[in-house]
Structure 1
Amino acid sequence: MATDVIIHAAILLLTLAIVFAIRYVPKQTVTKHRTDHRATTQTQRHLIRATQLLSRAKSNPQRDQTQTLAKTAIAEIEKAHSLSPKDPNPYILKSLALDLLGHKGPALRSLDLALASHRVKSLSEKERVEALVRRAELKLAVNKKRRVDSAVTDLEEAVKVSESELKTKAFCFLGVCYELKGMKEESRKAFEEAIKVEPDSTVARQGLERFQVPHSCR
């Protein structure tokens, strides 16, 4: 008798568990999906708004208006970050806004956060390369002598993964960095690689001319 009671109780509990799984768990899944989708949509709206503000800020000749627009963009970016803290894009846009405000150190740190290992996977190849090149530029702007090696590391990574128009810029900037380090042969080769990608690159041609290397250009 006791065994039968235990068996019936077990069957009842199993039945209840199945009913719970069928009725309740899918609702939780749907609710979570809707919440995530809503957060993603709101994040994109804030980022689009921030991008528009930054575009206006870059083209505005009035410095005070540029700063106002950049600060407003940062407010939108912060809202996006609060909704999607794992998204690297708010950090990239914030870096651009901070740079417009003249805060190159914080702009560099924001890019460091965007390129952190747990976020960088979310970036497309083009976005990643653009961020690496931009970070290299900021490193030299903050402290050219101390950060040139680190800038070279970013640029060497950028030219390995890039198959886009950004590759020319990365090679040219890499040539400049090698030149700063006194690595003339490496610098010349970097400018030559840039020419291969974009024969009309003025920066690459000028770089080669500094080494007095004849090169036919279209």
Structure 2
Amino acid sequence: MAPEIVLQLALLTLTLAMFIAIRKFPREALSKLRTRHRATLQSNRHFAHGSTLLAQARGAHPAQSLAHAKSALFEAQKALSLSPKDPGPLVLKALALDLMGHKSSARRSLDLALSSPRVRSLAESERGDALVKRAELKLATNRRRRVDSALEDLVEAVRLGGSTKATAFCLLGECYERKGMREAAKEAFEGALRVEPGSVAARQGLDRLGP
């Protein structure tokens, strides 16, 4: 076979291979994207259902509350299995465990949610709310030993803001009060009242501290 013909055949073969590769790559990439998207959608469904169950648990009588909390935990685990890097299901899991009375396990779940790189997926306000909850759990499981650790979370939570900012200020005030830091405690309780003027906990804190 003449060298020119061999060269032409080689070029034709290479061109055909490149054409197939170019056509195939987008389909493979799209297939992977669709798989990831389906997993994300399914994870979000479990998360949304779990959040609804958690809200129902908070307003139900004890027996039904426990049943709803267990179901919320199941949905959180399902969502986590589909999106293991998503901190949302870990926060949901922590809240469900807390309602079930498993405070140490709930705190560990929040530790994971707030660890790198997961924490980068949380908005500042979401991170603030998660820090407040973790501080609550730290104080509930071992108040005396964990005051300083809870303080760190609460100072950061106040800086970040969130729907529980008033609670963060109140807990901060209680921590300062326990450490004998009277003026700092008063400032924290006053901060809570600026955020939520009707805060009973803040008023009680200021009453305890006196003028």
TM surpasses 0.5: yes
Measured in 1, the distance between the counterparts of 2:5 and 2:159 equals 69
Change (3 A) 1:200 1:68: closer
For 1:116, what is the secondary structure of its paired residue?
coil
Question: In the TM superposition, what is the alpha-carbon distance from 1:69 to its structure 2 partner?
Answer: 2.1
**Partner in structure 2 of residue 176 of structure 1:** 174
Please, which runs of 5 or more residues in structure 1 have no aligned partner? 214-218
Quote the Cα distance in structure 1 between the aligned partners of 2:74 and 2:14.
Answer: 51
Q: 8 Å contact 2:54–2:96 — kept in the other structure?
A: yes
What amino acid is aligned across from residue 46 of structure 2 in structure 1?
Answer: H
Pick from 204, 207, 210: which aligns with 1:206?
Answer: 204
The letter of the residue matching 1:155 is: L
Q: Report percent identity of matched pairs.
A: 54
Mapped partners of 1:72, 1:206: distance in 2: 36
Partner of 1:19: 19
Asked if 1:166 corresponds to 2:164, the answer is yes
CA separation of 1:190/1:59 partners in 2, compared to 1, >3 Å: closer, same or farther?
Answer: same
Identify the residue that residue 137 of structure 2 maps to in structure 1.
138
Please name the residue that 1:50 is paired with.
50
Judging changes above 3 Å, is the alpha-carbon distance between structure 1 residues 183 and 14 closer, same or farther for their aligned structure 2 residues? farther
Alpha-carbon offset, residue 176 of structure 1: 0.8
Residue deviations 1:4-34, cap 9 Å, x none? Answer: 7997687557535532442011111111111
Aligned to 2:79: 80
Q: Distance in 1 between matches of 2:178 and 2:201?
A: 15
Quote the offset at 1:120 in angstroms.
1.0
TM-score by length of 1: 0.86
Once the two structures are TM-superposed, the CA of residue 134 in structure 1 deviates from its matched residue by: 0.4
SS at structure 1 position matched to 2:117? helix
How many angstroms does 1:89 deviate by? Answer: 1.0
Q: What is the CA-CA distance between 1:64 and the residue it aligns to?
A: 3.0
Question: Which residues in structure 2 correspond to 1:90-101 (within 5 Å)?
Answer: 90-101=89-100
* Structure 1 residue 193 displacement after superposition: 2.1
Which whole-Å CA distance do the structure 1 matches of 2:197 and 2:66 have between them?
38
Name the counterpart of 2:41.
Answer: 41
- CA apart distance, 1:161: 1.3
Q: How many residues align?
A: 211
1:18-57, Cα deviation, whole Å (9 max, x unpaired): 3244201111111111111111110111111111222222
RMSD: 2.3
**CA positional deviation for 1:110:** 0.7
- Unpaired segments ≥5 residues, structure 2: none
